[in-house]
């Protein structure tokens, strides 16, 4: 019944993080926020969004959701911890412009709608809308390939990861 | 084991940026470092654990540092909290 909330029939694959949003994808080093660009939170990508919908990039579980709705942490079935952080400094909006569709502890499938963000609203408030998608348990896993192109949420790969130390 | 308390003064609480900096700072030390707010406890070396606290301004945080470098680590963390949170 809730299939309308899913964009496509995306299925999570081991080691694959799908793009959570339609847009143009770049290395995390291009994120206009040093905490991300310097990989202090981890390696990954940033997305210049083409629309307002954020979908789960993996099959897994919602581990944490910021009270302000602009950030959440997801643990994939294969153990990767993925933070999705929407916009730069958008914590300051205190929830305005964000509508979260999931709860802490909720099981999710790749392609499930996680959050709606009013990109035009956050831009109108002077904030950059880039979405960061970061692998935060870099001790256990390493990012082994990122996309750098236009992507469709829940369909195209954002990046791949592998257990750290595994020969590739 | 060394314990100290800190009340969060940052009006945005422990959001992604200070959480990331805290994990980086805590990870410099071998000691186990935990944060406790109310009934929730977090491992200061794990970003998801720290984010899960959803610490807000005014929250009293109990920091516990335990290990061979606990005195250096707790001094560094007291300074870190004062500057960043």
Q: Which domains does chain B have, with CATH numbers?
A: 2-84 (3.30.1340.10)
Cα separation, B46 vs A35, whole angstroms: 16
Cα separation, B5 vs B61, whole angstroms: 6
Cα separation, A153 vs A150, whole angstroms: 10
* pTM for the whole structure: 0.91
pLDDT single digits (tens) A40-92: 999 999 999 999 999 999 999 999 999 899 999 999 999 999 999 999 999 99
pLDDT single digits (tens) A86-122: 999 999 999 999 999 999 999 999 999 999 999 999 9
Specify which residues A150 forms β-bridges with. Answer: A24
Q: How far is A64 from chain B (nearest CA, A)?
A: 5
CATH of A2-7+14-163, one of 2.70.70.10, 3.40.1010.20, 3.40.50.11900, 3.20.20.140: 2.70.70.10
Q: ipTM value of the model?
A: 0.88
Buried-state track B45-56, b at ≥16 Cβ within 10 A, e below 16:
bbbbbbbbbbbe
Chain B 15-54, CB below 8 Å of chain A: which residues? 15-17, 20-21, 24, 46-48, 51-52, 54
Q: Which helix (H) or strand (E) holds B26?
A: helix B16-26
Q: Which of B12, B21, B48 comes nearest A40 by C-beta? A: B21
Domain extent listing, chain A: 2-7+14-163
């Amino acid at each position: 019944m809730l299939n309308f909330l899913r964009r496509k029939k995306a299925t999570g694959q081991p080691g694959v993080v799908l793009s959570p949003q339609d847009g143009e994808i770049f290395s995390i080093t291009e994120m206009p926020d040093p905490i991300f660009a310097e990989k202090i939170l981890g390696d990954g990508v940033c997305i210049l969004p083409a629309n307002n919908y954020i979908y789960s990039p993996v099959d897994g579980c919602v581990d944490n959701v910021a009270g302000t709705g602009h950030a959440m942490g997801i643990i994939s079935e294969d153990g990767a911890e993925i933070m999705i952080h929407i916009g730069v400094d958008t914590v300051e909006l205190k929830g305005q412009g964000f509508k979260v569709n999931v709860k802490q502890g909720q099981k999710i499938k790749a392609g499930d709608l996680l959050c709606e963000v009013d990109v035009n609203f956050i831009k109108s408030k002077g904030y950059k809308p880039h979405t960061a998608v970061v692998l935060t348990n870099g001790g256990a896993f390493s990012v082994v390939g990122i996309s750098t192109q236009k992507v469709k949420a829940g369909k195209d790969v954002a990046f791949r990861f592998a257990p750290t130390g595994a020969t590739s | 084991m060394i314990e100290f308390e800190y009340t969060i003064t940052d009006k945005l609480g422990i959001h992604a940026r200070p959480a990331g900096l805290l994990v980086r700072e805590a990870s410099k030390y071998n000691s186990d470092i935990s944060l406790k707010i109310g009934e929730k406890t977090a491992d200061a070396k794990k970003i998801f654990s720290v984010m899960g606290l959803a610490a807000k301004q005014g929250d009293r945080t109990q920091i516990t540092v335990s290990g061979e470098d606990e005195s250096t680590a707790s001094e560094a963390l007291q300074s870190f909290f004062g500057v960043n949170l």
